């Protein structure tokens, strides 16, 4: 599962190459792999050469997940940089940031570090009932080019506590932590101690509360995301989307619009919480009670128009109040 750093596509003008080199070196300092290339072997003065260059750049973009726009007047005036930018946005790539090249060197270095804190991931989980979720989530994040700290590959015998503490500290400085709170996690002395280390390190955390697990005291008062079922592979993809949306909402820059980001978080979270897990027909939200102190949503099965009222209750409510198509399973 382990691999070093992630690949980051740097969209830049060659006129800014001195500062681009600084950005590249900073990403490499955090063990990532920035791509800042200029294909001199191609002659873009001919239609064939221009088409080949356009194809190569788009293929590179298609295979990447992390992008940085090096913004400057030179970049704004470059047709190739603008083509890259349009194509990246058109493809809907979620992990996109911009760096203003007019910033000081120290400010640019700080911006690179800020971006890197959204790439390195520490996942805290209980081995007894969280290993499968961890494996699915870690593999999905790695496919998205996140740098996941792998407890199975990175630990050496005899130094468990010290190595975990080191990993927690490093991730707090240069990354974030995802907490997989399952029923056994909330009861595990080791997991709760690990959670205290993560919180005391002031790490950026994303707590995911699964099924019927209780929220540990250390997480009370924090923003937690409840997932009232054992996640399927489809759910894991949604969880990765949720993580990306949460991280994206933490960075404010010229190409980001906060309202859209928070709406996206809400949309993904609702899919995770209210998708029907037991029936062939998925209930669709058709309204709500409108009461501010007791907000409940009304869902309807399209097959038979049967309606159910959904709050924060366990997923078993879906099974008990299922649609007519699956009445034999209810």
Q: What is the pLDDT of residues 68-80, one digit of tens each?
A: 999 999 999 998 8
What pLDDT shows up at residue 314? Answer: 37
CA distance linking residue 55 with residue 167, whole number of Å: 40
Please give the pLDDT value at position 330: 34
- Which pLDDT does position 329 carry in this prediction? 38
pLDDT digit string, tens, across residues 289-320: 665 555 567 777 666 667 766 654 433 344 33
- The low-confidence residues of the chain, meaning pLDDT below 70, are 1-5, 38-45, 151-160, 250-259, 274-284, 289-296, 301-305, 308-330
Domains of the chain from N-terminus onward: 7-116 (3.40.50), 120-273 (3.40.50.10140), 278-326 (no CATH)
- The whole-number pLDDT of residue 220 equals 87
Beta bridge pairs of residue 92: none
pTM check: above 0.75: no
Cα–Cα distance for residue pair 118/311, rounded to 1 Å: 32
Helices (H), the chain: 17-29, 47-62, 73-76, 79-90, 105-116, 127-143, 151-154, 160-174, 189-200, 233-248, 258-274, 316-320
Structure token digits, residue 43: 């002659």
Q: 251 with 265: CB under 8 angstroms?
A: no
E strand or H helix at 103, and its extent?
Answer: none
Look at residues 145, 125, 146, 147 and name the one whose alpha carbon lies nearest to residue 135: 125
Using DSSP's 3-state secondary structure scheme, residue 192 falls into: helix
First to last CA, the chain: 39
């Amino acid at each position: 599962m382990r691999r070093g750093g992630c690949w980051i596509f740097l969209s830049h003008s060659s006129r800014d190459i001195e500062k681009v080199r600084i950005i590249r070196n900073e990403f490499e300092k955090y063990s990532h792999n920035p791509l800042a290339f200029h294909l001199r072997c191609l002659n873009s003065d001919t239609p064939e050469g221009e088409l080949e260059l356009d194809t190569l750049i788009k293929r590179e973009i298609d295979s990447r997940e992390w992008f940085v726009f090096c913004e400057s007047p030179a970049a704004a005036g470059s047709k190739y940089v603008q083509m890259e930018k349009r194509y990246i946005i058109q493809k809907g790539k979620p992990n996109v940031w911009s760096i203003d090249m007019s910033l000081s060197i120290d400010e640019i270095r700080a911006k690179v570090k800020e971006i890197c804190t959204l790439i390195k991931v520490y996942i805290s989980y209980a081995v007894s009932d969280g290993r499968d979720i961890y494996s699915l989530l870690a593999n999905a994040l790695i496919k998205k080019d996140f740098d996941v700290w792998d407890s199975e590959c990175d630990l050496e015998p005899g130094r468990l506590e010290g190595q975990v503490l080191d990993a927690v500290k490093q991730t707090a400085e240069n990354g974030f932590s995802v907490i997989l709170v399952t029923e056994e996690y909330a009861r595990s002395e080791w997991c709760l101690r690990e959670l205290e280390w993560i919180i005391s390190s002031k790490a950026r955390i994303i707590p995911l509360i699964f099924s019927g697990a209780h929220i540990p005291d250390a997480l009370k008062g924090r923003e937690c995301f409840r997932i009232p079922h054992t996640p399927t592979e489809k759910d894991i993809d949604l969880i990765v989307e949720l993580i990306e949306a949460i991280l994206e909402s933490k960075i404010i820059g010229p190409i980001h619009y906060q309202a859209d980001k928070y709406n996206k978080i809400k949309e993904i979270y609702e899919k995770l919480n209210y998708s029907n897990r037991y029936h062939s027909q998925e209930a669709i939200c058709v309204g709500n009670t409108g009461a501010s102190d007791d907000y409940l949503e009304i869902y309807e099965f399209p097959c038979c128009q049967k309606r159910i009222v959904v709050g924060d209750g366990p997923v078993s409510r879906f099974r008990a109040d299922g649609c007519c198509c699956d009445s034999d399973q209810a």
